[in-house]
A and B are shown apart, each in its own frame.
Chain A
Amino acid sequence: MITRRIDSGLRRAHLALVPMALVALVCYLGATLWSLRISLSSSRSFPVSDFVGLAQYRRLFSNERWLHSLGNLATYGLLFVAACLIIGWLLAILIEREVRMGGALRLVFLYPYAMSFIATGLVWQWLLNPGLGIQEAVRRWGFSQFRFDWLVDQDHALYTIVIATVWQASGLVMTILLAGMRGIDADIWRAARIDAVPAWRLHLWVIAPMLAAPFATATLLLLTGVAKLYDAVVAMTQGGPGTASEVPTKFIMDHLFGRANIALASAGATVLVLSALIVMMPLIYARARSSRRPA
């Protein structure tokens, strides 16, 4: 009787996981492989099943716009991840020390994360508007030579996106690190107080190294955001001025739909995925291994 029950239970379990299997194999794995296949063809508006080898990739890497977008993403990624980690860490340290108002202040730093990228991009587009935003406001205060027109400046437009997205994501890093700090033995804080060790020293030399896992998780999530950067660019600069803030995802989307060159777009997508995997794999592997080791 029990044996039959177990069998039927297992069968039902397998059945229940069919949607997950479908999604994983068809939607994730299958779609990625299909994209790869298209990138090896000469498809334009519709998929064509010929085989042109790596021609699309060659075209991709001689495309100015694509190369520029890759460079932009690298610059953006570096600045974004570094700024979020540092600001998030500093906020976590300050909040951890502030016992009374820490709880309320935490919510202030995390609320931007609840906003969509579109809303974030739009509000910062407004704030950084040269004629009506911060530049104008400061000029009205008397600093008539003040310049903050990065939004329309070719050399600085990318940084405006950094500002907007760092504002949105720093709270996330802070939350992850605070959760990690809560897992630290309470006596360590007390021992440091008895030893008269100043808080910043303790955080730098003892606490931060102990937070290696939350830091890795936060970095992983941030890197995911970097690879997927799209909405904020669309909302803030549409990739402009010119191609100053062009990013790979926008390139891909434009070529998938607007410019009707799906093979080129798929090649771009494949390159993006590979780069993302190469950068993130070490982190993913380290996290998987450390979670299997007993704490």
Chain B
Amino acid sequence: MSGAGGERPSVPRRWYTDPARLGLLALLLSAALCFLLPLYVMSLTSFKSMEEIRNTSLFALPPQLSFAAWQAAWSSACTGVACNGISAGFWNSVLIVIPSTLIAVGLGALNGYALAFWRLRGAGVLFAVLMIGAFLPIQVMMLPLVRLLAPLHLVGTLTGIIIVHVIFSMPVMTLIFRNYYAALPRELFLAARLDGAGFLYAFLRLMLPMSLPMLAVAAIMQATGVWNDYLLGLVFAGREHLPMTVQLNNLVNTTTGTREYNVDMAATLLTALVPLLIYALAGRWFVRGIAAGSLKA
């Protein structure tokens, strides 16, 4: 054995020469490409003219970028009876999402707070009912709900659809806030009570400010979920307030005559734009939302 050193010196392994690492990266990148493919194709198609669509390959770049399909999708495509584009649906969705997010998140926080800190008899059972209900297909509750809300003149109104969204999001919202508050030190709450804080005071002044990140996560989850909803909007929103997803389906799947695929894709992109934008800006909060929702304390 030679003095200090051995046969060959040790060299650091660089990522570009390590076969295992390169193989891993190649696998991941191909998978990423597969996942990105639909978005890529959707965007390409929306910028082509119908002529180009018929004559060029699905994956080919558009010879010239045309926004005509986007304009048509927004303002002149036919969604059922009216031909005013999908823009009406956009504003409807906005009007539905904002109030239902605010109310659902607020109620969820209040419920979670009450369940976590105040030992109430029967609350556990109610919560269990709520949680099991979350797993059930909506169809089983659809008709009863229509029958319940009809005499109140809430079916087909903006208020009605908002209420329905709040109802169906309550289990998840309550769950994530209950878990969140249960993980906070109980001593904080007890100290506040000893200091004389009442139910609402402790909530508004102490717990709510402490749960700002959770509020953000819940708001993102709720807003995305409501925006993406189709069925509830179809049944409860009424013709004047149809959300964008319903308008989209009408636009694409109920067209008579020739289908304009570029307009279809533009409309789909427009509909998916808001959640995708939220995701692009707040992707990490999305992940936190999933983690929070999948934990069951």
- The interface of chain A, by Cβ under 8 A from chain B, is 2, 5-6, 8-10, 12-14, 16-17, 19-21, 23-32, 34-35, 38, 47, 91, 94-95, 97-98, 100-101, 105-119, 122-124, 126-127, 132-134, 136-137, 140-141, 167, 171-172, 175-176, 179, 214, 217-218, 220-221, 224, 227-228, 230-231, 234-235, 238, 249, 252-253, 256-257, 262, 265-266, 269-270, 272-273, 276-277, 280, 284, 287-288, 291
Q: Mark B53-89, 1 if CB is under 8 A from A, else 0.
A: 1100111000000000000000000000000000000
Are the C-beta atoms of B294 and A276 separated by less than 8 Å? Answer: no
The residues of B that contact A29 with a CB separation of less than 8 Å are 129, 133
The residues of A that contact B36 with a CB separation of less than 8 Å are 108
Partner of B290, one of A21, A95, A108, A172: A172
Q: Cα distance A133–B265 when bound, in Å?
A: 13
Whether, in the assembled complex, B102 has its beta carbon less than 8 Å from a beta carbon of chain A, the answer is: no
- Interchain nearest-CB distance for A8 vs B (Å): 6
The residues of B that contact A114 with a CB separation of less than 8 Å are 224, 228, 272, 275-276, 278-279, 286
The residues of B that contact A253 with a CB separation of less than 8 Å are 139, 142, 231
Report if A231-B231 is in contact (Cβ < 8 Å); known contacts: A132-B54, A137-B57, A284-B132: yes
Report if A276-B24 is in contact (Cβ < 8 Å); known contacts: A23-B170, A116-B228, A256-B143: no
The residues of A that contact B297 with a CB separation of less than 8 Å are 291
Q: Mark B22-62, 1 if CB is under 8 A from A, else 0.
A: 00110110011001111101100100000001100111000
Are the C-beta atoms of B130 and A31 separated by less than 8 Å? Answer: no
Q: Cα distance A116–B24 when bound, in Å?
A: 31
Q: Cα distance A94–B35 when bound, in Å?
A: 15
Chain A interface, >50% SS class: helix
Q: Cα distance A247–B71 when bound, in Å?
A: 35
Whether, in the assembled complex, B120 has its beta carbon less than 8 Å from a beta carbon of chain A, the answer is: yes
Report if A221-B294 is in contact (Cβ < 8 Å); known contacts: A108-B36, A110-B287, A256-B142: yes
Are the C-beta atoms of B199 and A12 separated by less than 8 Å? Answer: yes
- The interface of chain B, by Cβ under 8 A from chain A, is 15, 24-25, 27-28, 31-32, 35-39, 41-42, 45, 53-54, 57-59, 107, 110-111, 114-115, 118, 120, 123, 126-127, 129-130, 132-145, 147-148, 167, 170, 174, 193-194, 196, 198-200, 224, 227-231, 235, 245, 248-249, 252-253, 261, 264-265, 268, 271-272, 275-276, 278-279, 283, 286-287, 290-291, 294-297
Partner of B58, one of A137, A230, A266: A137
Q: Cα distance A112–B144 when bound, in Å?
A: 33
Beyond the given A31-B141, A112-B35, A126-B264, could you list 4 further A-B residue pairs with CB under 8 A, ordered by the A residue number? A100-B15, A136-B58, A238-B253, A266-B140
Are the C-beta atoms of A32 and B140 separated by less than 8 Å? Answer: yes
The residues of A that contact B114 with a CB separation of less than 8 Å are 13, 16-17
Q: Cα distance A108–B143 when bound, in Å?
A: 39
Could you give 30 example pairs across A and B, Cβ below 8 Å? Answer: A5-B193, A13-B114, A14-B120, A17-B115, A28-B132, A28-B141, A35-B141, A47-B147, A95-B28, A107-B279, A110-B283, A114-B272, A114-B286, A118-B271, A126-B45, A126-B261, A127-B58, A133-B58, A167-B35, A167-B38, A176-B294, A218-B294, A224-B134, A227-B137, A234-B253, A257-B235, A266-B143, A272-B140, A273-B136, A284-B132
Nearest A residue (CB) for B33: A108
Q: Cα distance A59–B16 when bound, in Å?
A: 66
Q: Cα distance A42–B2 when bound, in Å?
A: 96
Nearest B residue (CB) for A112: B35
Nearest A residue (CB) for B126: A24
Are the C-beta atoms of A116 and B275 separated by less than 8 Å? Answer: yes
Are the C-beta atoms of A132 and B53 separated by less than 8 Å? Answer: yes
Report if A21-B126 is in contact (Cβ < 8 Å); known contacts: A9-B198, A10-B120, A105-B32: yes
Are the C-beta atoms of A280 and B135 separated by less than 8 Å? Answer: yes
Are the C-beta atoms of B294 and A111 separated by less than 8 Å? Answer: no
